[in-house]
Amino acid sequence: VIAPTAINAPLVGTPGSRLRLHTPALVLDLDALEHNIAEMARRAARDGVALRPHAKTHKSADIARLQLAAGALGICTAKLGEAVALRREGIAAIHITSPIVTPEKLAIAAQLAAQEPGLSVVADRLDSVPALAQAARAAATTLDVLVDLGMGNNRTGVATPQDAANLAAAIAQAGSLRFRGLQAYAGYLQHIEDKAARKAAAQQDQARVASAVAAITAQGLHCDIVTGAGTGTHDIDGASGVFTELQVGSYVFMDVEYLRVAPWQAGSFQTALFVQTTVINANVANQVTTDAGYKCFAMDGPHPEIASGAPAADARYFFQGDEHGGVIRNNNAPVDLPVGTVLTLTTPHCDPTVNLYDYYHCVRGDTLVALWPVHGRGMSW
Ligand SMILES: Cc1ncc(COP(=O)(O)O)c(C=O)c1O
């Protein structure tokens, strides 16, 4: 029986092994990854704001460690399950950005906080405060709690700045809870392609966040932390003076969706994540079939884009079902990619694509240098 990593493990360290990978394979370009981590750290330092990057994107303790080494003061996870997976790998200072509702999960969160201070959670309902306090008491710890302010899409969060202040006061009075500040993530703004439109919308939201901070301050409380922003608004929010830290996620990898968010000027973020696939059928002239289909990509976004391997500028990838993709050209032109041709595709939407794989195939130049597990794969509870 072959272990999951074994098929490509023998290639680690072999020059030229990048193009010899058994596919489909999730490929991580370490030079681009390191560039992106350093570039975001530089931008945050320039804007005088801290970083708590979102590990929902990569679910990897290895990448979290690189972000922490570059100066991040902690990391975020979307869910408790991701926090458990990363804590098991030694990552601490985790902020969980989705509200936790059930007593069982609250108990686990409180136990994590008891083991290592620095874990924080969010709340968005007044009636959740007694359950949070009870979980912290049962674990004999004090739990750090931020109020989650709903932003635009009403996904999570309290409805109004005044609700945020009322909830902050309840947390502060609960005992065994420590009120730490505000979370305000405006996900619906991140992919507005036009920069001026994105900026105008983000500035409106910043005013809403500032009014929540003011309402909390009027209760005699202090927001040590005001956290939010994604890759799309990192510079706009970072320079606003409203946020103390940024929860950026996708910048580590970039994807087709984010590469469309203009303008990504030279020297900004590079595509670090790819799916590598191989041509397995070329029996007709105007189309070839590859070995990567629906199971290899998140399906909520645009199609994957060909980054390398198909020289014709009009060559494009399309889905051919669960296991297969295809490449065609305009006007039925011959595709001319023999069986065995290796294609590198930019992922449409990086976060849910990563969750489909057990390992990153880490490359430097043309060489596979390591296999990194996706530690939080499937840990979306
Ligand atoms: C709560 C929260 N914060 C931060 C992020 C990171 O955003 P991005 O991947 O756009 O950088 C996300 C992404 O969905 C999120 O849900």
Q: Is 231 in the pocket of ligand 1 (CB under 6 A)?
A: yes
Give one DSSP letter per residue of 155-171, joined into a string.
Answer: SSSBSSHHHHHHHHHHH
Q: Is 156 in the pocket of ligand 1 (CB under 6 A)?
A: no
CA 56 to centroid of ligand 1, rounded, Å: 8
Q: Which of 63, 94, 189, 190 to mutate to test ligand 1, by most ligand atoms within 8 A of the CB atom?
A: 190
CA 179 to centroid of ligand 1, rounded, Å: 22
Helices (H) and strands (E) in the chain, counts: 10, 17
Of 325, 323, 305, 322, nearest to 314 by C-alpha is 305
Position 2 scores a pLDDT of 72
Position 46 scores a pLDDT of 96
- Whether 311 shows a pLDDT value over 90: the answer reads yes
b/e per residue, 116-129, with b = 16+ CB within 10 A? eeebbbbbbbeebb
Give the pLDDT band (50/70/90) at residue 162: very high
Q: Is 97 in the pocket of ligand 1 (CB under 6 A)?
A: yes
Q: Is 230 in the pocket of ligand 1 (CB under 6 A)?
A: yes
Task: Extract long-range pairs of 266-272: CB within 8 Å, 24+ residues apart.
Answer: 267/39, 268/39, 269/35, 269/36, 269/39, 269/40, 269/231, 270/29, 270/32, 270/35, 270/36, 271/29, 271/32, 271/307, 271/346, 272/28, 272/29, 272/30, 272/32, 272/33, 272/35, 272/36
Q: What percent of the chain has pLDDT over 70?
A: 98
| Nearest-atom index, ligand 1, CA of 251 | 11
Query: Ligand 1 atom 2: the closest Cα is on which residue?
Result: 185
Position 265 scores a pLDDT of 57
- Whether 33 shows a pLDDT value over 80: the answer reads yes
Position 83 scores a pLDDT of 98
- Whether 264 shows a pLDDT value over 70: the answer reads no
Position 99 scores a pLDDT of 98
Position 3 scores a pLDDT of 75
- Average of pLDDT values for 214-237? 97
CA 362 to centroid of ligand 1, rounded, Å: 23
Question: 281 forms bridges with which residues in the sheet?
Answer: 289
- Whether 154 shows a pLDDT value over 90: the answer reads no
pLDDT digit string, tens, across residues 104-132 = 999 999 999 999 889 999 999 999 999 99
How crowded is residue 173: how many other Cβ atoms within 10 Å of its Cβ? 11
Q: Is 150 in the pocket of ligand 1 (CB under 6 A)?
A: no
Position 287 scores a pLDDT of 98
CA 58 to centroid of ligand 1, rounded, Å: 12
Position 263 scores a pLDDT of 57
Give the pLDDT band (50/70/90) at residue 185: very high
- Whether 141 shows a pLDDT value over 80: the answer reads yes
pLDDT digit string, tens, across residues 66-83 = 999 999 999 999 999 999
Which amino acid is located at 326 in the chain? G
Q: Is 54 in the pocket of ligand 1 (CB under 6 A)?
A: yes
CA 230 to centroid of ligand 1, rounded, Å: 5
CB 107 within 8 A of CB 136: no
CA 229 to centroid of ligand 1, rounded, Å: 7
Query: Ligand 1 atom 14: the closest Cα is on which residue?
Result: 187
Q: Is 98 in the pocket of ligand 1 (CB under 6 A)?
A: no
Give the tokens for residue 364.
């430097």
CA 327 to centroid of ligand 1, rounded, Å: 32
CA 142 to centroid of ligand 1, rounded, Å: 27
Position 175 scores a pLDDT of 92
- Whether 9 shows a pLDDT value over 70: the answer reads yes
Position 262 scores a pLDDT of 64
CA 367 to centroid of ligand 1, rounded, Å: 31
Position 267 scores a pLDDT of 63
- Average of pLDDT values for 10-25? 97
**How many angstroms separate the CA atoms of 287 and 289, rounded?**
7
Q: Which of 120, 205, 250 to mutate to test ligand 1, by most ligand atoms within 8 A of the CB atom?
A: 250
Position 221 scores a pLDDT of 98
CA 9 to centroid of ligand 1, rounded, Å: 32
Position 244 scores a pLDDT of 98
**How many angstroms separate the CA atoms of 71 and 41, rounded?**
7
CB 177 within 8 A of CB 145: yes
Backbone phi and psi for residue 50, each to the nearest 5 degrees, phi listed first: -85, 165
Q: Is 247 in the pocket of ligand 1 (CB under 6 A)?
A: yes
